[in-house]
Amino acid sequence: ADWGGHSGSRLGLDIGGTLAKLVFFESEIRPSWCNGRFAQVIKSLGVQTVKSEDDREFRDFVLSRQGSFWGAQDKELSFYDEELEGVFHFLCFQTDKMERFVALLAAQDLHHQIDEIYTTGGGAYKYSRLFSERLGINLKPVDELGVVVKGISWLLRRPISDEVCWLSDEPPKSPNFESECHFLDSANSLFPFILVNIGSGVSIVKVDGTDRFERISGSALGGGTFWGLCNLLCPDCKEFSEASCLAVAGDSSKLNLLVEDIYGGDYELTGGRKLPGTLVASFFAKAGRNGQAHDDAAVLNALITMISQNICQIAFLNSKLHSISRIVFTGNFLRQNQVARQAIATNMRRVSGAGLAGKQLHALFLEHEGYFGALGSFLHNVE
Ligand code: ADP
């Protein structure tokens, strides 16, 4: 692998239907021109006085999460790799801002010495002309699921910890999601697992090994569905992170029809099991009854829970079908989305423990959840 030399690029790109994800490696021992410059620009932005509109845009791009937000560096996800002697950085921005991103690369001279970038996601095709005409860069499309699996397998073999976690039943008491996580020690024993990637749409993949995987199912009710409905029903909510934070405090019991609304309490099933009264029997079934209005927080909570629970159910059934007990959830729908993760975690335990020979399963989450496609593309670029 060429981790720091001058040929090829040390970038990985995943241009999805909603978000574009970018990974770059900053080698300490062999700083390549492009990535050295990339890192240098990013690091200097904090102290540099803004000289031009291009500088200002670039600074906003990498540093800001509010205001003129159109992208962000996920600083908490970057890590130093002792073996490779360098730092991995992770950035994302909205795909529909691609023109601005390309303009910035050109203005900051960050595209020199890059002839081609292995890129995954539909944008590898959609934006190939833009990259070749404006930057002289050839985007080389790579298979989406293949790179996601490659990225996961590779990262789990790195000597970094705290990548794989499951959530306890208690909903987090503080906005700090980390405190409720239980990290797995032996991350590299994950195979075989069912991978559930929740991006704009949902892909469900059976992964037996790094090069052995197969798409077994999916759903068009995914993160894009949530985001579209959110824009429709809660137009005041402009950003995804705002929506996912608001949802945490939302009480959706006035919107959803619960088991207790139908039975007056818990419902006893045969065999000593019961459906708890607080379980949702039908999402949104009470919405607007008697002309009642609902606040955004409640609507967002119901929307996120509905999408998450449905995906969890499909994932669980696929795990049964293929007799695989590890189910790993990734994709940016889960990004800073406590309600989604908790809904998946709780629901997975409930549905898996319910059967006759039910063995309770824990849904597994990965810290670099939305970046595996970009990471896998990056690996293509350096191999
Ligand atoms: P894709 O490759 O299809 O773009 P991602 O894994 O990047 O898929 O996930 C996209 C989903 O992530 C969106 O549909 C939305 O639910 C969620 N999301 C997270 N952050 C944002 C954001 N800043 N803007 C829009 N959607 C976001």
**Ligand 1 near 243 CB (within 6 A):** no
Which numbered atom of ligand 1 lies nearest the CA of 21?
7
Is the same domain home to 378 and 362?
no
Instruction: Please tell me whether residues 93 and 178 are part of one structural domain.
Output: no
Overall size of the chain counted in residues: 383
Q: Is 214 a catalytic residue?
A: no
**How many angstroms separate the CA atoms of 105 and 28, rounded?**
22
* Residues 100 and 78 grouped into a single domain: yes
Output the pLDDT for position 27: 79
113-151 pLDDT, tens per residue?
A: 788 899 999 999 999 999 999 999 999 999 999 999 999
The phi, psi pair for 80, rounded to 5°, reads -90, 130
Q: Is residue 40 in a domain?
A: yes
- Residue 350 has, within 13 A of its CA and on its CB side, a CA count of 16
The Cα 58–Cα 235 span in angstroms is 28
Do 76 and 140 lie in a common domain? yes
Do residues 198 and 331 touch, judged by C-beta distance below 8 A?
A: yes
What's 352's domain CATH number?
A: 3.30.420.40
**346 inside domain:** yes
Q: Is 27 helix (H, G, I), strand (E, B) or coil?
A: strand
Range of the domain at 211: 164-250+295-366
The confidence score (pLDDT) of residue 183 equals 85
pLDDT of 253 strictly over 80: yes
Q: Would residue 141 count as lying in a domain?
A: yes
Same domain? For 299 and 359 the reply is yes
Q: Is residue 181 part of a domain?
A: yes
- The reply to whether 74 and 222 lie within a common domain is no
Q: Is beta strand 327-330 parallel, antiparallel or unpaired with respect to 193-198?
A: parallel
Domain co-membership, 199 together with 344: yes
Integer Cα distance of 129 and 113 in angstroms: 18
The verdict on 81 and 52 lying in the same domain is: yes
Q: Are residues 143 and 170 in the same domain?
A: no
Q: What single letter denotes the amino acid at residue 333? A: F
Residue-wise pLDDT for 34-82, tens only, equals 556 666 665 554 444 455 666 666 665 555 444 344 567 788 898 988 8
- Is 224 close to ligand 1, i.e. is its CB under 6 Å away? yes
Catalytic-labelled residue, pool 26, 57, 144, 369: 144
Collapsing DSSP to helix, strand or coil, 88 comes out as strand
| CATH number reported for the structural domain that contains residue 50 in this entry | 3.30.420.510
pLDDT at 48: 44
Within this chain, do residues 117 and 172 fall inside the same structural domain, yes or no?
Answer: no
DSSP 270: G
Establish whether residue 226 lines the binding site of ligand 1, counting it when its CB lies within 6 angstroms of any ligand atom.
yes
The response to whether residue 71 sits with its C-beta less than 6 Å from ligand 1 reads no
Do 47 and 171 sit in the same domain of this protein? no
Q: Which of 152, 244, 332, 344 to mutate to test the pocket of ligand 1 (most atoms within 8 A of CB)?
A: 332
pLDDT digits (tens, 9 = 90+) for 335-368: 989 999 999 999 999 999 866 556 889 999 999 9
The answer to whether residue 6 scores a pLDDT higher than 50 is no
As a whole number of angstroms, the distance between CA 177 and CA 338 comes to 7
* Edge-to-edge strand list for the sheet holding 202-209: 181-183, 164-167, 363-366, 327-330, 193-198, 202-209, 212-219
Cα 364 to averaged position of ligand 1 atoms, centre (Å):
19
pLDDT tens digits for range 320-334: 999 999 999 999 999
Q: How far is CA 59 from the centre of its chain?
A: 23
Atom of ligand 1 nearest to the CA of 95: 4
Split into its structural domains, the chain has a count of: 2
Residue 279 placed within a domain: no
Position 346 scores a pLDDT of 92
The answer on 225 and 198 residing in a single domain is yes
Task: Judge whether 65 and 59 are in contact, CB under 8 Å.
Answer: no
Distance 20 CA to ligand 1 centre (A): 9
Report the separation in Å between the CA atom of 330 and the middle of ligand 1, taken as the mean of its atom positions: 11
